[in-house]
Homo-oligomer: A and B are copies of this chain.
Amino acid sequence: MAKDLSLHPKTLKGLQTEVQSINRVALSVDCVIFGFDENTLKVLLIRSDLKKYKGMWTLLGDLVKPDEDLDNAAYRVLKQRTGLGDVFLEQVKTFGEVSRHPAGRVVTVAYCSLINVQNHRLKKMDNELHWHSVESLKDKAMGFDHEAIYLTCYQWLQKRVQEHPLGFNLLPKKFSLRELQNLYEAILNTKLDRRNFRKKFFSMDFLVDVGEEEQNVPHRPGRLYKFDFEKYEKNKKEWPGIGF
């Protein structure tokens, strides 16, 4: 049985013995990558090659390297799979059940990423890399504990998108209010009132009219806006108030 690290951490050498002992686990990151396309919220998955999970879908992940920060590992996976850098990425939760991985103890840190799929083609070298609508995922089986991880991240997104301006990461730089509303409706799986939605976002005062209009829409084009981060930082309210 391992000695207790914190109860008797007398010397650095003693600690090093502990740290380098058998008391170690494999550590991975798994990315839940969301995209928004055709008014649908989608998740990027790859097919599992493992016999045990034959035909099932899994999140994109990899082992964390010994000299690699967690965030960097997640960025690496993301870049590797999508070719995209400088995208939204945030740690959500760590899953460490002993038997969650058939190959042994693997603890995984789940990340949520939001990317703009506009003008983005997946690298088809990975021919089993596909977008799956959140809707369709209800009926699909996922390998490992990836369904639990995905659900955690999806619920995290649903909550988070209501209290922080994350959603814009899923849209092109310039977007119409209709697109923004479609996004929120897709994420929250609700219908929202168009006028109140508009009023809400204008009142928060971080949308800037870029003076352009939608192109190639089969109806009256809407104005295009961009999200102004500085304005948001200046005006954001600190006190949400108690309520539950």
Q: Which residues of A contact B (CB under 8 A)?
A: 1-2, 4-12, 15-16, 18-20, 22-28, 46, 48-52, 58, 60-71, 77, 80, 91, 93-94, 96-98, 101-107, 109, 126, 162-165, 184, 200, 204, 232, 236-237, 240-244
Contacts and interface: CB of A to CB of B under 8 A. Distances in A.
Contact of A25 (B2, B4, B64): B64
Contacts of A15: 50, 102-103
Contact of A24 (B18, B26, B52, B102): B26
Contact of A70 (B8, B20, B71, B94): B94
16 contacts: A4-B63, A5-B28, A5-B61, A6-B58, A7-B62, A8-B49, A12-B102, A15-B103, A20-B26, A20-B104, A24-B66, A25-B64, A70-B97, A162-B241, A200-B243, A240-B243
Contacts of A97: 69-70
Interface residues of A: mostly helix, strand, loop or mixed? loop
A214 to B, nearest CB: 23
A174 B11 CA distance: 45
Given A24-B24, A25-B27, A242-B184, A62 B5 contact: yes
